[in-house]
Structure 1
C-alpha cells in the first residue's frame, strides 16, 4: 500500500461511513480497483480509519453524547449489537470475503430504502423530532435492526436509519441517532479486533496509519455536515438509487 492508496481508502471510509451506502462495500470495491489484497496490515488499517471517522462524530456531537439521556439511548441501542457481535461475529466474519454477497446486499438495501421512502412521503402522523424523545424501547429495536449490518454490503448506517424511519423518527433524528450509535458500536468492534490481532506495526506502516486516520477524520467531518444539510431539503431516495447503480457496476466489474 502506498501513501496515495492510504489517502484514497481513508477518504472513501470517511465519506461513506455515515451514509446509508455501505462503507465496507465501497472499501472492498476500492481495494479491488487499487489491487490491494487483504493482509494483517490492511485489516488493521481499516480499523484505524474507522476510528478516525468515529472521532469526527465525537468532535461534532460531544455535547449531545454527554447528555445523560442521549448517552443511555446510545448504550441501549448498542446492547443488541454488542451481544450479537460477541456470539455471531466469529461465524459471519468469513462473509467479508464474499464479494457477490456484498453486491446483493447493496442492491437489496437500495430497494428497501426506496420502498420505505415511498411509504414515508405520504405518511401522516406525528414523528419523533428530538433525540431525547426516542425512548429506550425504540433504541433497543433500532439496535436490534443494526445487527443485520454484520453482513457486508448492508451498511450499519442504512440499517439504523431505515430502522429509525420505520419506527417513526424523522429523517434528521434517525440520522443523528445513527451517528451517535456508531460511536459505541464501531469503537467496541475496533477494540475487539485490535485485541485479537497479533499484528505489530512497522515504521512505514505507522506513517500510512497516521495518514489514513487523519484522512478519514477530515472527510467524515465533511460528509456528516453535507448529509445533514442535504436532508433539510431531500429524502433518502437518491441513496437507494445510488446503491442499486453501484451494485450493478460492482457486479459487472467482478463478473468481467
Structure 2
C-alpha cells in the first residue's frame, strides 16, 4: 500500500501547496484519515520531500521568465531588486526554522491545531479581502526589498502555526503591503522556491536511509504526482485570482476547520501527534 499512500499524498500536496488552504494541514489530516502506518519521522520527512515536486512545477511553469531574468540580472536593477527581495524574504523563516522547527513538529502537528489555524486564517482572509484600500503594486519588480522582507516575516506565521498555510500567509502579507492579488500570488510562488525547495533538498539528503524504509521509488512517485498536480493548480490559481477574491477560500477554510474539530470531538479523527 505504500505506493497508494504516496500517490494520495502527492495529489493532496500538489493541490494544496500553492492554494491558500495549508498543504501541511491537509497532509496531516489526510495521513490520519487514511491510517498511514509509517512511523511519524517517515511521514514528516516524506511530506517535506515531496514538496520538491511542487517547487519543480513552479520552475517549469515560469521557465521562460526565469531564463529572461537570468539574461538581464547582471545589469537590470529592477530584476536585481526582485531577487534580492526574494532572498531577504527568506531570512525570517530560515532563522525561525533553525530555532523552532523541531519543537513545532513535535508538539503542534495535530488536527485540532490545524483546524484552528484554518479557521483563524479564513477569518483573517475575509477581513483583508473586505478592505477598501486599492492595491498600489501591480508587478513583481515594484515590490522592493523592504516590502519583500515584511512579506517574508508574514510567511513565518505558517511555520509557527501548522495549518495556517505558507501560501496564505505570504499572499495575505503581500496584499497588506499593497500588492494586487495576482502579484501577491506570483511572489508567493517565487518565495516558495528557496523556502520549500531548500527544505525538501535538505530533508532528502539527511533522511535518505529513513525514506528507504518505504522505498525511494515511492518517494519519487509522490514527488512526481505532486509536480503534475501542482503545475495544473498554479495555472488555475493565477486565472482565478485575476477575476475573483479569496473569500471563497476563506469560507472553505472555516468549514474544513469546523469539520475537523467535529471529527476530533467525535473520536473519528485521532488528535495525538502524528
Fold in common (TM above 0.5): yes
Distance 1:208 1:179, change over 3 A: same
Q: How does 1:191-230 map to 2 (within 5 A)?
A: 191-197=201-207, 199-202=209-212, 205-230=215-240
**Counterpart contact for 2:155–2:170, Cα < 8 Å:** yes
**Secondary structure, aligned partner of 2:15:** helix
**Counterpart contact for 1:17–1:220, Cα < 8 Å:** yes
TM-score (norm 2): 0.86
Deviations 1:123-148 (A, max 9, x none): 24x51011011000000000011111
Show structure 1 runs of 4+ deviating over 6 A.
Answer: none
Determine the C-alpha separation between the residues in 2 that align with 1:216 and 1:244: 25
TM-score (norm 1): 0.92
**Counterpart contact for 1:95–1:152, Cα < 8 Å:** no
Deviations 1:57-83 (A, max 9, x none): 111123434523232221111112112
Matched, 1:149 2:158: yes
**Counterpart contact for 1:16–1:23, Cα < 8 Å:** yes
Determine the C-alpha separation between the residues in 1 that align with 2:88 and 2:65: 16
How big is the shift at 1:188?
Answer: 2.1
Residue 54 of structure 1 aligns with which residue? 55
**Counterpart contact for 1:65–1:71, Cα < 8 Å:** no
**Counterpart contact for 2:138–2:183, Cα < 8 Å:** yes
Matched, 1:130 2:142: no
Deviations 1:88-140 (A, max 9, x none): 22332223433211111110000000011011xx324x510110110000000
How big is the shift at 1:9?
Answer: 1.2
CA RMSD of superposed structures (Å): 1.8
- Gapped regions of structure 1 (runs ≥ 5): none
- Gapped regions of structure 2 (runs ≥ 5): 74-78, 267-274
**Counterpart contact for 2:46–2:211, Cα < 8 Å:** no
Determine the C-alpha separation between the residues in 1 that align with 2:108 and 2:59: 27
**Counterpart contact for 2:123–2:250, Cα < 8 Å:** yes
Determine the C-alpha separation between the residues in 2 that align with 1:224 and 1:22: 15
Determine the C-alpha separation between the residues in 1 that align with 2:251 and 2:203: 33
